[in-house]
Amino acid sequence: MVLGSPSSGPAWASFEGTIEPGSDESRLLARIDPDRLPRHVAVIMDGNGRWANQRDLPRIEGHKAGADSVREIIETSARLGIQHLTLYAFSVENWKRPKAEVNELMRLLKKYLQDDLPTLLQHNIRFRAIGRIQQLDATVQLLIRDAERKTAGNQRLQLNLALNYGGRSELADAARQIARLVQDRKLKPDEIDEGVMADHLYTAGLPDPDLLIRTSGEQRVSNFLLWQIAYAEFYITPVLWPDFRKRSLFEAVIEFQGRDRRYGGLAEK
């Protein structure tokens, strides 16, 4: 993963030498307004299994191909100038999958955390994991904390990986924390508002997603960022995750920039 300089001017300038002039990708990139980028993009990465099935391959091959898409979308987001990228990697419901598949997913996660940490450091990308991390394998937890600690000062892009994550679990965990504050008389019930709630979510300190992308054509949020996506723009594409690359992200951003975001108000005349 080779990134341009973060101070190289407009977003398209950081793609110099990586996109062929006159190509479809080049034409799409030219349509993106670097001053109106989504600040935070969240992605439900779906379709790895179907991608493998279409090719008569084991499901794990789809997950491996999906890992390549992860790398490309991280790189492309950083080049564009997107500040926050949240990827739904493993849900609390995914434990229901066959044990062999879960074990292979954990192996791929460990490999990513080990192999890609130098790249995150080199290119100023901060890593953060969100979810019930304490329930993961001890080795995975150590790798996560090591990556978070070593990249804590990076500022170009914040990569948030949702692991053992569930939106309802997140809200329940936040409610428990707030209840303890009330029980300890550190917070009054009447003081509980949206800000207090947001401060006790896994995503505390992050802006809410502007753009939520779902691949594979499914039209549901799958228990992902239930509180945070209240005003996110949804972009649903039939493209399976292993085939979702920079061109697909460009198309999503262009669609986002064409939306009229009113937040419950009226459009400006």
Summarised one tens digit per residue, pLDDT across range 140-192 is 999 999 999 999 999 999 999 999 999 999 999 999 999 999 999 999 999 99
| Nearest Cα residue to 224 out of 147, 264, 148, 164 | 164
CA 16 to chain CA centroid, nearest Å: 25
> What's the full length of the chain, in residues?
269
Q: Where in the chain is the domain with CATH 3.40.1180.10?
A: 36-165
Q: Note the pTM of the prediction, 2 decimals.
A: 0.92
- Return the exposure string of 63-96: e unless at least 16 CB atoms fall within 10 Å of the residue's CB, then b: bbbbbebbeebbbbbbbbbbbbbbbbbbbbebee
CB–CB of 137/164 below 8 Å? Answer: no
Tell me the average pLDDT of the chain.
93
Mean pLDDT of 16-35: 90
Burial of 187 (0-12, 13-18, 19+ CB in 10 A): middle
Q: Is the pLDDT assigned to residue 11 strictly greater than 50? A: yes
CATH number among 3.30.930.10, 3.40.50.300, 3.40.1180.10, 3.30.420.40, domain 36-165: 3.40.1180.10
CB–CB of 46/241 below 8 Å? Answer: yes
Q: Which residues are catalytic?
A: 46, 94
